[in-house]
Amino acid sequence: MANILLIHGAYQGGWIWKRVAAPLRAGGHLVLAPSLDGCAERQAQLRPGITTESQAEELAALLFHEDLTEVVLVGTSCGGMVLCRLAELARERVGRLVFLDALALRDGERLPDIVQRRNFQRTELATGPTPEDAAGRLFADLDPATRAWTLARCTLHPVAPMEAPVRLERFWDLPWKASVIWCRQSANPPVAHQRRAADSLGAAWHELDTGHYPMLTEPEAVARLIESG
């Protein structure tokens, strides 16, 4: 049985993995789906200094304190950025990488270099869409009940991970066992970006005929791909 760490994307928390974590746990896997620093129920911890790198450092500490090895790291959307830094920091604890419609930036690249965002809310510490924009654009393809459940849980995302360059001094020079899952109905991250990641990593390529939130629309298929690699 596998040790699996699920890393969410922007405006989310560990809650978004609920439908994927359930079948994985039923299959006997150890599944961790924490909310990243400053996200979801941890919004009260928002403060200056939260970055992609600090979020990855916290997850590296989690793997250390849980004494987990051969961990399958799964990242979606900008959670892919955290995944890359975490893998670099905790190389000896990583077994496999899964990029689920995820960003995989090179050292010094920024999220806006790859994705053009429309965030209409911004504070000193966080940014994100309005509820109306999220309902009509981000989550437009979800069924009404799932959309309502998701909107009730969305929160703004710390600013720095959305705007600052990532630091990845070694990730792209190391060998990894990886897979990339592209969601055909999702415009971002662009398919060319995900192909670049797959080609650079020598990763297995999978496709799902769904939008950017496959953990909500195709959770069983996502769980099977995580299990199989």
Q: How do the domains of the chain map onto residue ranges?
A: 3-228
Q: 117 pLDDT exceeds 80? A: no
Place of tokens 């009730």: 152
Q: Is the pLDDT of residue 221 over 90?
A: yes
Percentage of the chain beyond pLDDT 90 is 93
Across the chain, mean pLDDT equals 96
User: For the chain, what percent of residues have pLDDT higher than 70?
Assistant: 99
Residue 143: partners with Cβ closer than 8 Å, 6 or more residues away: none
Neighbour count for residue 184 (Cβ, 10 Å) = 11
Assign domain 3-228 one CATH number from 3.40.50.1820, 3.40.1190.20, 3.40.50.11740, 3.50.50.60: 3.40.50.1820
The span from the CA of 142 to the CA of 19, in Å, is 14
Residue 119 has pLDDT above 80, yes or no: no
Q: What is the pLDDT of residues 50-107, one digit of tens each?
A: 999 999 999 999 999 999 999 999 999 999 999 999 999 999 999 999 999 999 999 9
Q: Check residue 120 and give its pLDDT.
A: 78
What would the mean pLDDT of 110-123 be, rounded to a whole number? 85
What gap in Å lies between CA 13 and CA 132, rounded to an integer?
A: 19
- For 6, other C-beta atoms within 10 Å of its C-beta total 26
Residues 98-124 have a mean pLDDT of: 91
Residue 118 has pLDDT above 80, yes or no: no
pLDDT digits (tens, 9 = 90+) for 135-147: 988 899 999 999 9
pLDDT at 2: 97
